Amino acid sequence: MAKEYCGTNRHRIMLLELQFADMFGLASFAASYALLAAIPAPNFMVVAEAGFSTCRLSALMAAAGVATGAMVLAALISAGADPFYHLEAVRIGATLAFFAFTCWLGARAFSRALHETAVAPRPHHWAPHRLFLIGVATALCNPASAAFFATSFLGVYSGAPMTLAPLAVFIVAGFWFAFVGLILTTGRMHDFHVRHAKAIDIAAGIALLALGLSALMRL
C-alpha cells in the first residue's frame, strides 16, 4: 500500500510539473506575441486607421477582425506543423530562424528610428463590418505573423500546448488592438505617435533583439 501511495503521489507531481511547464510555455509564447503585436506593422496600421476615424465601433471591429484573422492563421500553422513537433533538427532550425527573424525586425525598427521614416496612419471612414473583414484579411496575409508562428511552434515554444496557442493569440491581439483602437479614437494620440516614434522604435528594436537572444540561449 505504501509503495502504491508513493507511486501515485510521484505520478501526480509529474503531472503537475508537466502542466506547469505547459502553462509557462504558453505564457512565454503569449508575451512574445504581444511584443510582435505592438510593432507598427500591417495589423497595427489597420486598427490605427480605424481609431483615427474617431468611431469607437469601427476601432473595435477592426481590432476584432485582426484578432480573428491572427487566431485562424495561428491555428492553420499549428495544425500544419504538428507532424514535425518532435524532430530535434526541426526544432533547432526553427529556433535559429526565429532568432534571425527577430533580429531582422529589430534592425528594421532601428532603421526607422535612425532615418525617421515613421508613417502616421491615415483615418478611413469605412463601415464597421468592412473594417472587420479588412482586419481579418490583413492578419491572415501578414507574413511577419506567419513567420513568427511557424518558428515559434516548431522551435522556441514547441513545448507549449499548441491547442491553446490560437486562443492565446486571439486574447492577446483582441485586448491589445482594442486598447490601441479606443485610445486613438480620442484624437490625442496622433501627435504623441509622431513625437515619440523614434523612442518607440528604439525600445521595440532592443526588446526584439533580447527576445531573439533569449531564444538562442535555449538551444
CB 132 within 8 A of CB 64: yes
Distance CA 149, CA 70 (A): 10
Lowest mean per-residue pLDDT among 62-66, 84-88, 129-133, 204-208:
84-88
Tell me 152's DSSP state.
I
Q: At 18, is the pLDDT very low, low, confident or very high (cuts 50, 70, 90)?
A: very low
Tell me which amino acid residue 204 is: A
Question: Which pLDDT tens digit goes with each residue over 97-127?
Answer: 878 888 887 887 788 778 765 555 555 567 8
Half-sphere exposure of 120 (CA within 13 A, CB side): 12
Q: End-to-end distance of the chain based on CA atoms, in angstroms?
A: 42
Is the pLDDT assigned to residue 21 strictly greater than 90?
Answer: no
- pLDDT score for 12: 53
pLDDT of res. 173: 92
% of the chain residues with pLDDT over 90: 12
- 85: containing domain: 2-216
Residues 6+ apart with CB under 8 A from 29: 152, 157, 160, 165, 168
Inter-residue contact 110 to 205 (CB < 8 Å): yes
**Structurally, how many domains does the chain consist of?**
1
Q: What integer best gives the mean pLDDT of the chain?
A: 76
DSSP symbol at 212: H
Residue 212, classified by CB atoms within 10 Å of its CB into exposed (0-12), middle (13-18) or buried (19+), is buried
